[in-house]
Each structure stands twice: as structure tokens, then as C-alpha cells.
Structure 1
């Protein structure tokens, strides 16, 4: 049996060449019709349509070539209809030549602008990737998938942030949301990420790590903000620690929404956290460590408030827990795919705030099942109907 050959994807130059058939066809059709039309019918001025279309599909050289072809067609029409020396044909030829030159200049400026925009976008993407390192697909006993939806166009990150790192015997994860959105909040997000990456690998409890992050945010705000704006720079954060050996998860929340615990069999529970105030609000703070069961096969879904506060055209918030119950048995990658598609559909294709999600799936049992390591809010349990 002869092996089946896969069709190769169409190259960009092939698509461009196919589109160029449109202005060339217009020139041919207009020329032929004008030459066959009565003497008092003049279709030659319509030839300008061809070079006018070209800058949208090609560069200045091709635009000049199409303009030259249109000009040659105009001269041929003039010869056919009594010679190119008539006033009418001279005016049409000069007008078409001037318009073609203008279009070539416009195409060159447009191409230059696009090149500058592409360069700026490349630099911005590189800077954003340096700030928000991609999470590994596998780290310790966890499979990880993440999703980031920035509110501003052309931005890959904004005020939401996440990071993950290894200690000797656990995985530590940060998800947070600084005040503001889009590119204006990137500075605070970079500060918080840097402080976490610097300190998370140390052998200190999560509550002490939260205190270090609090100090970093407070010091940064004190250096930049006048006294009357004290407390205006703040961030919510959720710190998660997942030991390699124990089927538990430890959490410290600084004003951040609690995650969802997805268990096989279409069960979703919401851990009952004891959050402290957000980082940087200058309030008396006592961080609390909450410990919960996190068994093999479970998935912990972390998210920022841009997810659950996304509204549909009727003003209703996105019901993440109700929707996630459908996908408790899916892989982290499939879960992110479903949430992304469903969230954007709910919000009409565009979010008003940055949104970030992380799915942490425990892959293998290290010890027998534990039941005395935490509290889970049963009233928030959802079961698939």
C-alpha cells in the first residue's frame, strides 16, 4: 500500500501571490471592457483600484509594479481610443501616475512602520518572558499547566503573576495579583516575583516567606510613593507548598481567593483558608498556615480574581467552580484549554482584567491516604449532575 502523504501547509508567499491575482485581474478586465466599450464610456480611471489594493497585500516594490502595469493599461486604452495625445487621456495618465507614486510611498512607510512595530513587539515579548518564566510541565510529584490572559492588547503579562520553584523535598508555588492591570502593573509584579524567587528556596515556613514578601512590597512602596499615597500599592498573594512525600498541601493566603480542589468523580471543594490582609496595606498582619489533604489524582486549581470577576453581557460573574466540575478528570493541559475557551465565551471574547490560572495535578502516591491534615468547606462541594 502506498503511504499517504500529508499536505504541506501553504507558505505565506503562496498566499500573497494568490491575492495578487486580484489587482492583476482587475487591470485586465477593466482594460478589455474599456477597449470594447463605446467611445463615450471611460473605464480607465477605475484602474487606480488595482494599485490602491496592493499595499494591503504586498510591499512597495510590488505596488510600484502594479502601478506600472495599470499605467501601461491606461496608455493602451488611450491608443485604442484615438491616441494618448488627447487632453482626456493625458489627464488620466498623469493622475494615475501621481496616485501610483503616492501609493508606493504610503506602502513604503507602512512597511517601515510594521517592521518597527514587529521589533518593539519582539523586545516586549522577550522582556515579558524574562519576567514571567514558563512553568515546567512536570516538577516533583506534580504535573503543571498554566494560563495567562492579559487585559491589554499586545501584552502577554500584566498585574497577575505566578511562579514555581523546588526545595529539597517540596514544590512551592506563588500566584498573585497586584493593584492595577495591564502593563502599568508590571513593575510591582516583577518586584513580587523577584522577591519570591530569591527567598522561596530557603528552608523557612510559608508564613515567614509571606512576611518577607510583605517587607519587599512595603519597602518598594515607601521608596516610590509619597506619604499621602501610602497603602495604594498592594498585592494579593497565595503561597502553596506541596511536599513530595506527604499527600497534603500547605497554604498561606494574603487576601487572595482560595483555590479549587478537583477530585476524580466530578467533585470540587473549596479549602477554608484564613487569609491575612494583602501585601503592602500596612495593616497588623499575622499570617496563617492552613494544611489540607491533597491526594494522588487530585488537581489544585489556583486562579486570580480576574477569572471569577469576568462578566457576561448580563453582568453575571463567571462561575468557575460550577464549570470546573465538568473537567475534574481531565489532564491539567485539557483543563486549561476548557477553562480558557469557556471563560472567553462567557466574557464575550475579551476580559476587562488580567486573569491567570495554574493547575497542579499530583501524579503518584508516596504514602497512604491521610485524613487528619486539614479542613475543607463541605458547603462548597459541587457534584456533577
Structure 2
């Protein structure tokens, strides 16, 4: 129940930050303060990201999770640095750093939590970054749409760990088509 309460506080703080148009650093601090005000010992990891759809500028703060991967024309072109911030409630100890990446039309961005790459099979072998990258790269090469790629990826991860989640496992695959066309 404690985790549910902390997550609810963090989500509410995030929504409030977005509604008031705070930038990523201010959003991170708002989450940090909201959770810390409720419970100092609680800790939440997160990946905060913002994409300017008109320019393709992606900004990311990784608070205790991998930041992500940028794929272009079927190849990994950037592995975003991580971590760039401490988990929420530890934000007063070190300022967060925003990573900025300029996307090109057609780029895919794969954001994921550590529970994805740390998913272990019966023998203790992790799903791993190489398997994650290759799975995604192959799906994109086969022109599988992003939602279907994620669905298949989730099934592959569950299958890898015998259908038992061992940690939080969240993945997001973004496909930026380019700036909106003017009429």
C-alpha cells in the first residue's frame, strides 16, 4: 500500500507540473518535494522526458533508470547517458542534469526501466541491453509499428522470466515522424 501511495503522490505532482508548464528540472523538483514531504524514506525512480514535436528536440532526466536509446534507420545512434539525477526524495543532494538529443524525422526513442533489462530467466541470465536493442532493431527493420513492437517486447520479457515479473518493467517506444505539416 505504501508504494501505491507514493506513486499516487508522484503522479499527482507530475500532472500538476505539466499543467503549470514547468520545465523538466522544475518538474523533477516538484516530484521530489511532494514525495519527500509525505515520506522522507520513500524513494521513486523515474524517467522524465519531453519532446518538442515541432523541432524534434528531446530532453530527458533519468532519475535512477536507464535513459534510453535512439534508433535511426534501424541502427542505434545514441545511448543516452544515465543516471542524470538521483531517485526522487534524494533530489536535494545533487542537481538533476537534462540530456538533450536532436531527433531526425523517422527516429525511434526507446525508454525503459531497469526492470526490463534486469529481467532474469530461471538460470539468472538477464534479458539485457543487447537483447532489448536487437529485439527492437529487428522489429523496426521488419516495419512492425511501435505499439505492436512494444506488445511483442513485453511478451518476450515475460516469457524470458517465466511469466513472473520480478521488478517494475516499463517500456515506451516513441516514433517521431517529423515536424507537423503546415496546411
Instruction: Choose which of 357, 363, 373 in structure 1 pairs with 2:171.
Output: 357
Mapped partners of 2:150, 2:12: distance in 1: 26
Could you say which residue in structure 1 is the equivalent of 2:152? 338
Q: Secondary structure at the match of 1:334?
A: helix
Mapped partners of 1:239, 1:248: distance in 2: 14
Residues 31-64 of structure 1: CA deviation (Å, up to 9, x unaligned):
xxxxxxxxxxxxxxxxxxxxxxxxxxxxxxxxxx
Aligned residues, how many? 176
Could you say which residue in structure 1 is the equivalent of 2:14? 196
- Determine if the alignment matches structure 1 residue 279 to structure 2 residue 93: no
Q: Secondary structure at the match of 1:328?
A: helix
Asked if structure 1 preserves the Cα contact closer than 8 Å seen for 2:107 and 2:175, the reply is yes
Return closer, same or farther for 1:350/1:365 CA change in 2, 3 Å cut-off: same
Asked if structure 1 preserves the Cα contact closer than 8 Å seen for 2:56 and 2:102, the reply is yes
Return closer, same or farther for 1:281/1:272 CA change in 2, 3 Å cut-off: closer
Q: Which runs of 5+ in 1 are unaligned?
A: 1-182, 222-229, 368-385
TM-score normalised according to structure 1 size: 0.43
Could you say which residue in structure 1 is the equivalent of 2:137? 325
Q: Which runs of 5+ in 2 are unaligned?
A: none
Could you say which residue in structure 1 is the equivalent of 2:35? 217
Residues 286-327 of structure 1: CA deviation (Å, up to 9, x unaligned):
111211022221121222222111101111111222332212
TM-score normalised according to structure 2 size: 0.85
Instruction: Kindly report the root-mean-square deviation, in angstroms, between the aligned alpha carbons of the 2 structures.
Output: 2.1
Larger radius of gyration: 1
Return closer, same or farther for 1:203/1:340 CA change in 2, 3 Å cut-off: closer
Return closer, same or farther for 1:199/1:365 CA change in 2, 3 Å cut-off: closer
Q: Secondary structure at the match of 1:200?
A: helix
Mapped partners of 1:282, 1:289: distance in 2: 14
Task: Give the structure with the larger helix fraction.
Answer: 1
Mapped partners of 2:154, 2:61: distance in 1: 26
Mapped partners of 2:106, 2:9: distance in 1: 34
Mapped partners of 1:359, 1:315: distance in 2: 26
